[in-house]
Amino acid sequence: MKALVYHAPGKRSWEEKPRPAIQQPADAIVKIAVTTICGTDLHIMKGDVPTVTAGRTLGHEGIGVIAEVGRSVSTFKPGDRVLISCITSCGICEACKKGMYSHCEQGGWILGNTIDGTQAEYVRIPFADTSLYRVPGGADEDALVMLSDILPTGFECGVLSGAVKPGDTVAIVGAGPVGLAALLTAQLYSPAEIIMIDLDDNRLAVAKDLGATQIVNSTGAKTVDRVLELTHKKGVDVAIEAVGVPATFELCQDIVAAGGHIANVGVHGESARLKLEKLWSHNITITTRLVDTVTTPMLLRSVTSGKLEPRKLITHEFKLGDVMKAYDTFGNAAKEKALKVILRAE
């Protein structure tokens, strides 16, 4: 079969590889129907993720059809259409029993990281019963690919950890795909205001279309002033960090109201300054989280019932065989005005 393989920083190819086989009784083999590329895949291509070694098939998102199941898989059979979760969960360990699948002792984020991933014609999924979700009949499968990673990430790490409530004022720092996923899912809790903050006017315009009530271009130094002005000097109830650099995390500290939440979604490569000299008495809550995908069934119901429209995040479509070109487009997101790219098997 064909797969998108990482060889070294900057080096990838769409190449022939052996089709994966069942290794454990709880495995399933899934034939990919639709997949996509994540910002994390770009980080891998830069060499920023040391757990990914040469020869690895990338990708941790997708929809497909069960081709084969191990002997202990009880809820899926060949022919079933399934949503693949970016997080693999054994369902047995202490972390899984707490619903913290991200820290599953044998799973977590392993697809396209420590085992071969979904940007391929076939993929092996360990612990299939607890890591795959049945696709409802008649569903928009392109839209559902957004539920493999970015929707639960924006929702769990941003909206739920940030405890967004009706009537709240929310700021989301970063209008990339995950920030926009937080924007879409925050609206499930009907905050009064959502202020979207980014450097890119195109992404801010998209955010406005997707439900932001205010947009702030953070180029220049006046961002904090502008947010305080929009909030009558009080700051925001919830600040969602969806970039992953110290400056944006520190911005969140400057705009959060007393009693508020900072919910970190971004992937960080270095420490940030925590302004405890101000915050110690400010009654705030800061959360970090790797997505657990515990909300996938709820998000599926919300998409099916039309409360959530993740299709709006899709800007480009490619054939799976054109994944090399899709990487180029997604890698030039600002210029290409790319959010999520869909890769469809033929």
Q: Which of residues 21-50 bind a second copy (CB under 8 A)?
A: 25-26
Among 71, 77, 222, 319, binds a second copy (CB under 8 A): 71
> Looking only at residues 281 through 320 of this chain, which bind a second copy when binding is defined by CB under 8 A?
281-290, 292, 294, 297-299, 301-302, 304-305, 307-308
Binding status of residue 114 toward a second copy by CB under 8 A: no
What is d(CA 46, CA 56) in angstroms, rounded to the nearest whole number?
Answer: 14
Binding status of residue 131 toward a second copy by CB under 8 A: no
CA 273 to chain centre: 25
Q: Which stretch binds a second copy (CB under 8 A): 60-68, 257-265, 314-322, 338-346?
A: 257-265
Provide the residue count of the chain.
Answer: 346
What is d(CA 312, CA 324) in angstroms, rounded to the nearest whole number?
Answer: 23
Find the shortest distance in angstroms from Cβ 265 to a second copy: 9
Q: Are strands 122-125 and 28-36 parallel, antiparallel or unpaired?
A: antiparallel
Q: Are strands 122-125 and 132-134 parallel, antiparallel or unpaired?
A: unpaired
Find the shortest distance in angstroms from Cβ 325 to a second copy: 31
Among 9, 78, 136, 269, binds a second copy (CB under 8 A): 269
Find the shortest distance in angstroms from Cβ 165 to a second copy: 8
Binding status of residue 199 toward a second copy by CB under 8 A: no
Buried b / exposed e over 251-263, threshold 16 CB at 10 Å, is bbbebbbeebbbb
Find the shortest distance in angstroms from Cβ 210 to a second copy: 15
Residue among 304, 28, 310, 27 at smallest CA distance from 155: 310
Among 220, 270, 335, 346, binds a second copy (CB under 8 A): 270
> Looking only at residues 81 through 110 of this chain, which bind a second copy when binding is defined by CB under 8 A?
90-92, 94-95, 97-100, 102-103
**Which one-letter DSSP state was computed for residue 323?**
H
Q: How many residues bind a second copy (CB under 8 A)?
A: 71
What is d(CA 116, CA 285) in angstroms, rounded to the nearest whole number?
Answer: 37
> Looking only at residues 165 through 194 of this chain, which bind a second copy when binding is defined by CB under 8 A?
165-167, 187-190, 192-193
Structural contact between residues 258 and 283, judged by C-beta atoms closer than 8 angstroms: yes
